Amino acid sequence: MTRSVTTKNVREETTVGDGRCPDCETETVIHDPDRRELVCEECGLVLSEDPIDYGPEWRAFDAREHEELSRVGAPLTQSMHDRGLTTTIDWRNRDANGHSMDAGKHGQLHRLRVWQERIRTKNAGERNLKYALSEIDRMVSALGVPNPVKETASVIYRQALDRDLIRGRSIEGVATSALYMSCRKSNIPRSLEEVTAVSRVEQREIGRTYRYIADELDINLEPTNPRQFVPRFCSELDVSSDVETTAIDIIDETTELGLHSGKSPTGFAAAAIYAAGLLCDETIPQRAVAETAQTTVVTVRNRYREQLDAIDESVTA
């Protein structure tokens, strides 16, 4: 038995808002992708038909076709001083059809590129912002963190610039602090020592600038959980999954006891991995663990003993 489908003009916000059919009052409204309609599955009422398609009029079946057919530029980004609203003159010396240009045009294009780079920044403030964002981009590439971290770091730096928090501080120090803050906000496990290794300023300046900017911008960050470092450290040490699981259990138990308070999260995670290796009968050199976590062998030795003692005491109690 087929059900006849009737068309009725109904306001779109009523049908889309709650998904309820205004005729039979059931929540059985579905979207028909073939006809591009909103139809009630129960009574057959057409709630919306011929919607506006805001997508492109062309179809692409792979990345190459998408790139060739697309007629728009890259999306706006906070990681560029002009947010990506600029013109770039290609270095390949080819025209719009992809044909190579004659030698007489090469010199002219080179001069155009030079002047294009010069006029992209109008004053010293924009030049400093361009340099700071390029530093963030360089450190993001060196740390191997995703692009959303770079975007967040760029936003934090712009906020500090608008609040005039950079006065009296180095551009590199503020940029590095913004990146470290972005890693913590995004739950990307990167220690202060790792960020310092790719920066051009000392760790003490980064820490001081980080605390100042976080306080002025009212950015409240939770303390770093040592378990965030365990998967990456275990991957670099090439240990078994049993060691990784045991290390996380050790951190969870000792964290509940408050043993991690006031201790370096990377050193605490490294000690848990070494202790997990002992419990799983897997040999992991202390020096290798310490070098992976960028800490000292003494720290690993002291922390793993504290962790095992605390677990034994909790079990006996």
Cβ atoms of 233 and 276 within 8 Å: the answer is: no
- Dig out the tokens for 95 from the structure: 């025209």
The amino acid sitting at 47 is L
Annotated binding site for Zn(2+): 21, 24, 40, 43
Judge residue 33's burial from the number of C-beta atoms within 10 Å of its C-beta, 0-12 exposed, 13-18 middle, 19 or more buried.
exposed
Annotated binding site: 21, 24, 40, 43
Torsion of CA 241, 242, 244, 248, to 10 degrees: 140
Strands of the sheet containing 37-40, edge to edge, are: 29-32, 37-40, 46-48
Cβ atoms of 234 and 243 within 8 Å: the answer is: yes
Phi-psi region of 269 (alpha: psi -120 to 50; beta: other; left: phi over 0): alpha
Q: How far is CA 317 from the centre of its chain?
A: 43
Non-local CB neighbours of 254 within 8 Å, separated by 6+ positions:
260, 268, 272, 306, 307, 310, 311
